[in-house]
Amino acid sequence: MSQASAHGAVDAVWRIESPRFIAALTRMVGDVGLAEELAQDALVVALETWPTTGVPEKPGAWLMGTAKHRAIDAVRRRQRLQEKQRLLGRDLELDQNQQQLGVPELEAVLDETPIPDDLLRLVFIACHPVLSMDARVALTLRLLGGLTTDEIAHAFLVPESTIAQRIVRAKRTLTEAHVPFEVPEGPALAERLAAVLEVIYLIFNEGYSASAGDDLTRPALCEDALRLGRVLAGLMPSESEVHGLVSLMEIQASRLGARVTPSGEPVLLLDQNRGLWNQLLIRRGLAALLRAEQAGTTLGPYALQASIAACHARARTADETNWQQIAALYDALAQVTPSPVVELNRAMALAMAYGPAAGLEVVDGLADEPSLRSYYLLPNVRGDLLWRLGRLAEARVEFERAASLTHNERQKQLLLERAVRCR
């Protein structure tokens, strides 16, 4: 087998299986940093072995077995039983009087590792509130998305050294804070789950509408977020908001192929060719929304946003969009999670349902909102409403201001073109 083929196979297996490896190893050794090192060691062994022996019939199991034996070797290097117990964690429940832990006995315990439970615990560790949001995003993409440091840096347009430092600091912080490898319970679960969903949606949004750079979208990040969301939905099937987030991302991702022209220029939602929307993703999104609705709880912010996205997805043309329903859903969203950004979106829905003057009234009420002062969408929306009211000189000023606030070159060019058309 050629070196290139072996490397490709290792890379493919790592992408799919690494979260499971790291989750299981974290449970065994009680340290996410050490767990990743053990998994990487197994990867190195595969790169050295597979070009000669060929890819095993079950490559994932081969890598897991190799990593487990590395974990055993790490334990063997510890002389005291108490130290071994600390490394292996409370889940192994070792006999306090046992002087040596045999390898076959340890292997039998390791083989009983419940992979889904471990993955869920890893999700909550990677998104732990003790970490900064930047650190949570980087660590989540590294441990659960299977991305390399270079790939994460490229996706967020920052130096590779910056991402590497974030990941190292994040793992050190988790170790020093003695963050337990567990899923929180009771009220803490809702709070922590909200943090997990926020991280996943932040990753998706950076892919759906890039905050900087020359490209409007980064579909690979959307795919990573969708994969994480689907895994989480499988691990927490009774959580309405998890299905709501998956639904929202599926439906929004369905539009990616229509959001830009072949040369990369943005296409506004109402101008998109809906024939280019991915119908498979829409069906999956609507199915996830149904699961959220059937959970028997009041719809949360992600499920409500998914309901709004579903209104667009169900309309065969822009003219068939039920804007009154969308406005009502934004009213409900504003009740659940009031925020200036929600109000801005509600203003657009009101404008589409009841005329631009109705929307402009809400937008003007946000003019002095500190959190929107440098948010390019505020002048963008105001410019659009002024344009529709025929107040072109005022609209031009707003589009030019919006262009000065965005860091995405494609968005800036679109806004400047709209400003020119106002003349």
pLDDT, residue 1, reads: 58
The encoded tokens of residue 10 equal 């290792």
- pLDDT over threshold 90, residue 352: yes
More confidently predicted of 6 and 66: 66
pLDDT tens for 273-302 read: 999 999 999 999 999 999 999 987 889 999
pLDDT tens for 79-129 read: 444 554 555 554 444 343 333 334 444 444 444 445 578 888 999 999 999
pLDDT, residue 326, reads: 97
pLDDT, residue 328, reads: 97
Stretch 165-183: mean pLDDT, rounded?
92
Query: What distance in Å separates the CA atoms of residue 258 and residue 267, rounded to the nearest whole number?
Result: 7
Query: What distance in Å separates the CA atoms of residue 9 and residue 50, rounded to the nearest whole number?
Result: 9
Query: What distance in Å separates the CA atoms of residue 299 and residue 289, rounded to the nearest whole number?
Result: 10
- Angle subtended by helix axes 340-354 and 356-364, to nearest 10: 160
Band of the pLDDT at 390, cuts 50, 70, 90?
very high
pLDDT, residue 317, reads: 94
Query: What distance in Å separates the CA atoms of residue 62 and residue 190, rounded to the nearest whole number?
Result: 37
- Please state the domain extents for the chain: 3-113, 115-231
- Angle subtended by helix axes 149-156 and 187-208, to nearest 10: 70
Q: Which residues contact 198 (CB under 8 A, 6 or more apart)?
A: 127, 133
Query: What distance in Å separates the CA atoms of residue 240 and residue 17, rounded to the nearest whole number?
Result: 27
Give the whole-number percent of the chain exceeding pLDDT 90: 52
Query: Are residues 266 and 216 in contact, defined by beta-carbon separation less than 8 angstroms?
Result: yes
Average pLDDT, the chain: 86
DSSP 133-202: HHHHHHHHHHHTS---HHHHHHHHTS-HHHHHHHHHHHHHHHHHTT--SS---THHHHHHHHHHHHHHHH
CA distances from 150 to 141, 144, 156, 288, 378 (A): 11, 16, 10, 33, 34
pLDDT tens for 189-239 read: 888 899 999 999 999 999 998 887 888 898 988 998 999 999 999 989 999
HSE (side-chain half, CA atoms, 13 Å) at 360: 16
Stretch 13-23: mean pLDDT, rounded?
81
pLDDT, residue 115, reads: 57
Q: Which of 209, 179, 133, 176 lies closest to 406, judged by CA?
A: 209
pTM (predicted TM-score): 0.80
pLDDT tens for 28-55 read: 888 888 888 888 888 888 888 888 888 8
The encoded tokens of residue 268 equal 């506004």
Query: What distance in Å separates the CA atoms of residue 293 and residue 304, rounded to the nearest whole number?
Result: 10
Q: Which residues contact 294 (CB under 8 A, 6 or more apart)?
A: none
Query: What distance in Å separates the CA atoms of residue 176 and residue 272, rounded to the nearest whole number?
Result: 50
pLDDT, residue 77, reads: 64
